[in-house]
Structure 1
Amino acid sequence: MTDKKNQVSRRQFLNYTLTGVGGFMGAAMIAPMVGFAVDPLLKGEKETDFVYVMDVDEITNEPQRKTFSTDQVDGWYESQAEHTAWIFRTEEDEILALSPVCTHLGCVVDWNSNEEYPDQFYCPCHDGRYNKLGENLPNTPPTEPLHAYEYRIEDGKLLLGKAKSRKGA
Structure 2
Amino acid sequence: MSKKVSRRQFLTYTLGGTAGFLASGLLFPMVRFAVDPMLKKGEAGNFLDVGLKVDEITDTPISVKFVIHRKDGWYEPPKGETMTAWVLKEGNEILALSPVCKHLGCTVSYNTNPQFKNEFFCPCHFGRYTKDGTNVPGTPPAKPLDRYETKIENGKLLIGPLKKA
Q: TM-score scaled to structure 2, two decimals?
A: 0.73
Change (3 A) 1:40 1:95: closer
Q: Distance in 2 between matches of 1:157 and 1:87?
A: 13
* 2:141 corresponds to: 142
What displacement does 1:88 show? 0.7
Structure 1 residue 41: Cα displacement: 5.6
Corresponding residue number in structure 1 for 2:119: 120
**Partner of 1:109 in structure 2?**
108
Counterpart residue number, 1:93: 92
CA distance in 2, matches of 1:131, 1:122: 9
Output aligned runs, 1:29-108, within 5 Å.
37=32, 42-53=39-50, 54-79=52-77, 80-90=80-90, 92-108=91-107
Backbone CA RMSD of aligned residues = 2.1
Give runs of ≥4 in structure 1 deviating > 6 Å.
none
* Distance in 1 separating the partners of 2:110 and 2:61: 7
Identify if the C-alpha distance between structure 1 residues 99 and 39 changes in structure 2 by more than 3 Å, giving closer, same or farther: closer
* SS of match in other structure, 1:57: helix
Q: State the Cα distance separating 1:44 from its structure 2 match.
A: 1.4
TM-score (norm 1): 0.71
> % of aligned pairs identical?
49
1:150-169, aligned counterparts within 5 Å? 150-166=149-165
Report the CA distance shift for 1:39/1:164 in structure 2 as closer, same or farther (over 3 A).
Answer: closer
Q: Which runs of 5+ in 1 are unaligned?
A: 1-29
2:7 maps to which residue? none
**d(CA) in 1 for partners of 2:36 and 2:129?**
42
Looking at structure 1, the residues matched to 134 and 96 of structure 2 have their Cα atoms a distance apart, in angstroms, of 13
1:47 to 1:127, Cα distance in 2 relative to 1, 3 A: same
Q: Which residue of 1 aligns with 2:21?
A: none
**Alpha-carbon distance change, 138 to 68 in structure 1, aligned in 2, over 3 angstroms:** same
Gaps of 5+ in 2: 1-24
1:43 positional shift: 4.4
Deviation per CA, 1:119-168, whole angstroms, max 9, x where unpaired? 000000000001111100011000010111011111111111122123xx
Give distance in 2, aligned partners of 1:131 and 1:99: 13
Residue-pair matches, total: 133
